[in-house]
Structure 1
């Protein structure tokens, strides 16, 4: 992906995201949790390829993050890979991505909570093998109450976004969003890092399902995928209600 503030050095594997790790900061005004609603139940867990199954190198993990207690927002990303990959190669690509995030970016582990490939397979990213969301490194300033889903590929203007990928992203978002969250709604989040679009401590309002570019200066998740967010919200709502 392209960033306004950072320039990529050429690598064999494009980096998924470029942002600084957020130090743990208490959200000064956490959102109140909504009681589960019979009218708006959380969706079932989708099929998920665990870290063990795709071969995550647990020796790379510097420190386990704390779980995300309340998922109030979902940030959508793309990873910047060429789109013509064979889905059988996804595990290998994820292992390289994890190594890039730790060794090059200096993070504790892979930045994304989940990664979805073009065939619609969902992979656990940063996690503990249970599918539980741990605080990621996907969206500078806004990782404390969100999950980040990385779409494996490059979805700039004119790119095709596979239907299977969109459906899989929707399945993860529907599953992870807190009970009662409106996929078409807005949410107030407080920035924990001034490297984001918002100074540390300042409040910002986002769509509940939003793109990386809304919180950080970047083109991510690409114009093509960003343009699919309204349809994605519709699909998430259909799966939850």
Structure 2
């Protein structure tokens, strides 16, 4: 017969596994199980700087990540920072954005899923895993099934957008969009917030690769970067077209 101590240990083992195992996974209501964006086969994940390496303040984070469906659309933003920063200082700028989003805006974490600096370095944004469909807080009304990428800087009229930055935006958007999404096409998304350009419940037809201003009353991502979006769409589509067997790769005509 087992001793009382051994029996007690067996009974407590499941509890120990719950306590010391992975924490709970939060999912948005009705969201599909999000194990990853399943990018086009053969398209590699771009190199990026992790939250650990840019020293995200995890103590500020109010709640764990929520997951949604794989990305049907990408929204491009800019952060509004001066453009003459040293790229070595980008982590400090991102930490400031994180603090503002949590302390001033009241969000759980930094709103963007990813950020890109003027040297073309990609940074992990909101926690939850770069290869997973993490719901951000970047586009009121349209955070579900989308990805928010912020260009660090202020790209108003006449500002030159660095090529390394646009190169990184193309690689990241092409990789993160779900299979079948055409960067040159459009997508119908349902608004979840009256504060967007569309009433709650209204179906909005948006570019698969959109600027923040397409869904919200703002100048973001700046006139200069917004004017480059048609070029970024073309480049992202061509990059995805290099992947054999990708259904959207052959459609290089806009449906918008």
TM-score range, shorter chain: 0.7 to 0.9
The answer for the alignment partner of 1:210 in structure 2 is 210
* Compared CA separation, residues 142 and 42, structure 1 to 2 (3 A): farther
Compute the displacement of 1:124 (Å): 0.3
State the match for 2:103 in structure 1: 103
SS across alignment from 2:166: helix
Higher helix residue share: 2
Runs of 4+ in 1 over 6 A off after TM superposition: none
Q: 1:25 deviation in Å?
A: 6.3
Give TM-score scaled by structure 1 length.
0.82
Matches within 5 A, 1:12-51: 41=41, 43-51=43-51
> In 2, Cα distance between the equivalents of 1:126 and 1:227?
27
Query: Cα distance, 1:235 vs. partner?
Result: 1.2
The total of aligned residue pairs comes to 209
- 2:194 aligned residue: 194
Structure 1: 5+ residue stretches without partners: 1-23, 31-35
Verify the 8 A CA contact 2:65 2:128 in the aligned structure 1.
no
Residue 140 of structure 2 corresponds to which residue in structure 1?
Answer: 140
Are the counterparts in 2 of residues 118 and 152 from structure 1 also a CA contact under 8 Å?
Answer: yes
Distance in 2, matches of 1:201 and 1:26, equals 16
Tell me if the contact between 1:55 and 1:91 (Cα under 8 Å) persists in the aligned partners.
yes
Task: Name the CA shift for 1:93/1:194 in 2 (closer, same or farther; >3 Å).
Answer: same
- Counterparts of 1:128-167 in structure 2, within 5 Å, are 128-167=128-167
- TM-score for the superposition, normalised by structure 2: 0.78
Larger Rg: 2
Alignment deviations for residues 217-239 of structure 1 (CA, whole Å, 9 cap, x no partner) = 00000000000001101111121
Q: Please, what is the CA RMSD of the aligned residues?
A: 1.8
Structure 1's 227 and 233: CA in aligned 2 closer, same or farther, altered over 3 A?
Answer: same
Any residues of structure 2 matched to 1:65-104 within 5 Å, and which?
A: 65-104=65-104
